[in-house]
Amino acid sequence: MTVSIKIRDYMERSSWIRKMFEQGLELKSKLGAEKVFDFSLGNPNLEPPAKVKQAILEVIEDPRPGKHAYMPNAGLLETREAVASVLSKDHGLKISGNQIIMTCGAGGGLNVALKTLLDEKDEVIILSPYFVEYMFYVNNHNGISKLVSTNEDFTLNLSAIEAAIGAKTKAIILNSPNNPSGRVYNEESLNLLGKILLQAREKYGQPIYILSDEPYSKLVYDGVKVPSIFRAYPHSLLITSYSKDLSLPGERIGFIAVNPQMENGREVTDGLIFCNRILGFVNAPALMQRILPRLQGISVDIREYQKKRDLLAAGLSQAGYSFIKPEGAFYLFPKSPIPDDVLFVQTLLQENILGVPGRGFGTPGHFRLAYCVADRVIEGSLDGFQRAIKKVCN
């Protein structure tokens, strides 16, 4: 036996997206990539904005020595201050560079936060549908995931969250805009959640932290805004990255911001910095940190994603699929026309369309389509979507 039993089990359980990816590769090698409509992965298809390349070239050409050296574990102060200055404006709060920790993407940030906060068997509330890695991340740090469903329309089910809170609850992970549903939680629901968590703090004597995972916060459509988690609740960490809004997922750059109103915020911040180090990240990539002060406020052209969303949404609804129109991110999460989402995803596969069954996100009866793909993929897939629904509904 080589790989641990636990990891073998996890690899098996987490394999939906990978399975689809592998089936897609097989199909592509058989038919040619242009004949396969691959909606399986959330890998942004837009190239980073031109200013990213320009900033990288400027940093590389800078003759000053030491740009690749080790640095403080929290990251470069210049970068943290640039991030804090934009956040202060966005949230209407005074946030300083000392409240920012640069991380290896949002995934790195979530692991750092969980490592910092969790004692053995502490509980973390995760809302389904969920980003599949959350449960592994919680387990990485000896926590227990407590799954709570959202409402039918994927809004927060506050009474279910309240019912799930107990003496061992240490944190709740929110993800808005949501992968896979595209839902953005509104201000009222976040304020109400904040009240529930403050009451729980009184009852159980310790704060419950919100880890607000927001890598899609700039990818929002139709004028929707992501409400400030910092204003809704003091014991909150904003965890995000430039993976999606600057199309830099392979560069592993993001940050954690600590709410300036957090009780014992300094201690939590020190813990986060220490955990960034001991998890072996040490610090976030230096070159990426150096380009960021020049790129604050910049993102890919979100109109491109909105166009793709509209194209896919129009085609799917014409074909008779039912779904909540996503307010953000780049995923559509339609209802499977038959209860068995795995079977339906196999039916789509017969049309050379790759999606992911909803059960991979803890929500069977749906399937996920990542529309961060070329327009021709969406256009070319629509007849297939129509045939697939007809096939199963006749």
Which C-beta is closer to ligand PLP: that of 212 or that of 228? 212
- Please, which of residues 117-136 interact with ligand PLP by CB under 6 A? 131
360 lines the binding site for ligand PLP (CB under 6 A): no
Long-range contacts of 79-86 (CB under 8 A, 24+ apart): 79/289, 79/290, 79/292, 79/293, 80/255, 82/292, 82/293, 82/296, 83/255, 83/257, 83/292, 83/296, 84/257, 85/296, 86/296, 86/297
Instruction: Name the minimum Å distance from CB 244 to ligand PLP.
Output: 7
Which C-beta is closer to ligand PLP: that of 169 or that of 241? 241
- Please, which of residues 195-214 interact with ligand PLP by CB under 6 A? 213
Residue listed under structure tokens 């470069």: 76
**CA–CA dist 254, 185 (Å, integer):** 22
- Please, which of residues 30-59 interact with ligand PLP by CB under 6 A? 42
254 lines the binding site for ligand PLP (CB under 6 A): yes
Decide the pairing of beta strands 331-332 and 367-370.
antiparallel
176 lines the binding site for ligand PLP (CB under 6 A): no
Are the CB atoms for 212 and 156 separated by under 8 Å?
A: no
289 lines the binding site for ligand PLP (CB under 6 A): no
**CA–CA dist 341, 331 (Å, integer):** 16
Position of minimal CB gap to ligand PLP: 105
Given CA atoms 376, 382, 383, 384 in this order, what sign does their dihedral have?
positive
Q: How many residues does the chain have?
A: 394
249 lines the binding site for ligand PLP (CB under 6 A): yes
Instruction: Name the minimum Å distance from CB 214 to ligand PLP.
Output: 8
**Nearest-CA neighbor of 210 among 227, 194, 225, 188?**
194
Query: Contact with ligand PLP (CB under 6 A): which of 40, 176, 243, 381?
Result: 243
For residue 363, the SS3 value is coil
Query: Contact with ligand PLP (CB under 6 A): which of 194, 215, 260, 384?
Result: 215
Which C-beta is closer to ligand PLP: that of 220 or that of 382? 220
Binding segment (CB under 6 A) for ligand PLP, from list 241-249, 260-268, 281-289, 336-344: 241-249
Query: Contact with ligand PLP (CB under 6 A): which of 20, 71, 82, 106?
Result: 106
150 lines the binding site for ligand PLP (CB under 6 A): no
Task: Please give the structure tokens belonging to residue 97.
Answer: 């560079």
**CA–CA dist 372, 384 (Å, integer):** 18
105 lines the binding site for ligand PLP (CB under 6 A): yes
Query: Contact with ligand PLP (CB under 6 A): which of 116, 175, 228, 363?
Result: 175
Q: Count CB neighbours of 311 within 10 A.
A: 15
- The DSSP bridge partners found for residue 241 are 254
Binding segment (CB under 6 A) for ligand PLP, from list 50-58, 101-109, 280-288, 319-327: 101-109
Would you tell me which residues interact with ligand PLP (CB under 6 A)?
Answer: 42, 105-107, 131, 175, 179, 213, 215, 241, 243, 249, 254
